[in-house]
Amino acid sequence: MNILVLNSGSSSIKYELFDTIGNRVLAKGIVEKVGMKGSFLKIDKPNGENVKLVGEILDHKIGIEYVLGVLVSANHGVIQTLSEINAVGHRVVHGGEDFSGSVYIEDKVIKVLEKTSELAPLHNPANLKGIYAMQSLLPGVPQVAVFDTAFHQTMPAKAYMYGIPYTLYTKYKIRRYGFHGTSHRYVFSRACAMLNADPKTIKVISCHLGNGASVDAIKYGDSVDTSMGFTPVEGLIMGTRTGDLDAGAVTFIMGKEEITYDAVSTLVNKFSGMLGITGVSSDMREIENAANAGNERAKLGLDMYAYRVTKYVGAYAAAMGGVDVLVFTGGIGENSASMRQAICSELDFMGITVDNEKNKVRGKEADVSTDGSKVRVLVIPTDEELVIAKDTEMIISNLK
Ligand code: AMP
């Protein structure tokens, strides 16, 4: 079965065409700057080569039409006709309380998604644009939604409720939802496979450290707590997001700077985190380079970043009454040996010890803990597209 996986963002569309029988990626790439000057489609060829095709891509539908054209094109095509695409799997950021798993997209699902958009105004409307575009470009081809939030629907109320008036929950569904669920679910299943462990017997803390970042406490296969909340702003310090921040500081800033909703949302989402602290960049490689060159704010940023993750690991071990496996994933978790080391350096007391030699690994699955470490420390590159393709295949197969 050939599944087209789409991740439609506000100005970008990532795609991957996955062959579930051969278990291989046939094509992948990204459309960038949708609706802006200088839009283009970049194809990542299997040989590592990149092809950039510049075009006027005014909206998501035109962008996806461009992708479909490239998939069957003489120069870059990988299939003969579009009828070889059997299904489409969409990454959808927010499923609210309505979806605790992936779903076949039909009209009633779209209606719920449209309602859920107010919970994720930066993400869900773009995901929906991808769905509408596919409905008109490939009518009759089944579509599936895979949610970032779904995996966390197992969290107990004591973990997902905020200390705010209860009516705000009943009226507006303000609660913690968590994100990166597809990634946490994937690395959990890979961790079980790597350790030959029964998912129902292990307690795992998964650290997805990328531009966005979150920690997940997974007890016997269920997400029981996670660091992102109502929005992806809560929790860890991220590339440009604050992470945990006193709500009193937010209202204070709003008063002092005389700013309202939009400006404060931009502040906490786009100008804070590592970018805001270091003044260097939101990109961890550039921050590490600056710190190595002696930049004090870059060093402070790295210390703060690691310290916040360390605290969450401690908290989630307490939440689960122990931990058997600590997983690192995401661009930083997979690649930065020094960040993994910094996070684990204070966790000896919990039986977490990293082997410096094994920890030199970059971007591939590995157990980097010492032989004597009570807790296994694993590096696992995430693959959210694979999960989306597999979920889509499963749901489509069950329809027949
Ligand atoms: P992601 O959002 O998962 O693509 O992760 C992006 C983040 O991973 C950026 O902050 C990158 O700087 C970081 N990253 C990627 N490669 C490395 C590396 N070799 N060392 C440190 N950070 C890296």
| Domain shared by 313 and 202, yes or no | yes
Residue 374 is assigned to a structural domain of this protein: yes
CA distances, 296 to each of 37, 143, 292, 300 (Å):
37, 49, 10, 6
| Domain shared by 215 and 274, yes or no | yes
> Tokens 């921050």 correspond to what residue?
287
| Residue 82 pLDDT greater than 90, yes or no | yes
| Residue 400 pLDDT greater than 90, yes or no | no
The last residue of a domain, from among 117, 147, 177:
147
User: Tell me, what's the pLDDT at 286?
Assistant: 97
Q: Which of 14, 238, 335, 379 to mutate to test the pocket of ligand 1 (most atoms within 8 A of CB)?
A: 335
Q: What does residue 79 show for φ and ψ, rounded to 5 degrees? A: -130, 160
Alpha carbon 112 to its chain centroid, in Å, reads: 22
What are the tens digits of pLDDT across the range 131-169?
999 999 999 999 999 999 999 999 999 999 999 999 999
| Domain shared by 103 and 228, yes or no | no
User: Tell me, what's the pLDDT at 121?
Assistant: 86
What are the tens digits of pLDDT across the range 370-386?
999 999 999 999 999 99
Residue of 113, 116, 326 lying closest to 216 (CA atoms): 326
Query: What pTM was estimated for this model as a whole?
Result: 0.96
Residue 156 is assigned to a structural domain of this protein: no
| Residue 209 pLDDT greater than 80, yes or no | yes
Residue 111 is assigned to a structural domain of this protein: yes
Q: How many domains does the chain have?
A: 2
Tokens coding 90: 């969409």
Distance (Å) from CA 288 to ligand 1 centroid: 11
| Domain shared by 240 and 379, yes or no | yes
| Domain shared by 253 and 121, yes or no | no
The active-site residue out of 19, 148, 367, 391 is 148
Long-range contacts (CB closer than 8 Å, 24 or more residues apart) made by 66-74: 66/31, 66/41, 67/13, 67/15, 67/29, 67/31, 67/41, 68/137, 68/138, 70/27, 70/29, 70/41, 70/43, 71/4, 71/17, 71/27
| Domain shared by 295 and 200, yes or no | yes
User: Tell me, what's the pLDDT at 272?
Assistant: 97
| Domain shared by 143 and 258, yes or no | no
| Domain shared by 26 and 129, yes or no | yes
148 is catalytic: yes
Ligand 1 residue neighbourhood (C-beta within 6 Å): 210-211, 239, 283-285, 288, 330-332, 335-336
Distance CA 280, CA 295 (A): 9
Q: Which of the four pLDDT bands, split at 50, 70 and 90, describes residue 312?
A: very high
Residue 376 is assigned to a structural domain of this protein: yes
User: Tell me, what's the pLDDT at 284?
Assistant: 97
What is the domain extent for residue 338?
196-384
Closest ligand 1 atom to Cα of 382: 3
| Domain shared by 267 and 131, yes or no | no
CATH number at residue 217: 3.30.420.40
Distance CA 75, CA 172 (A): 50
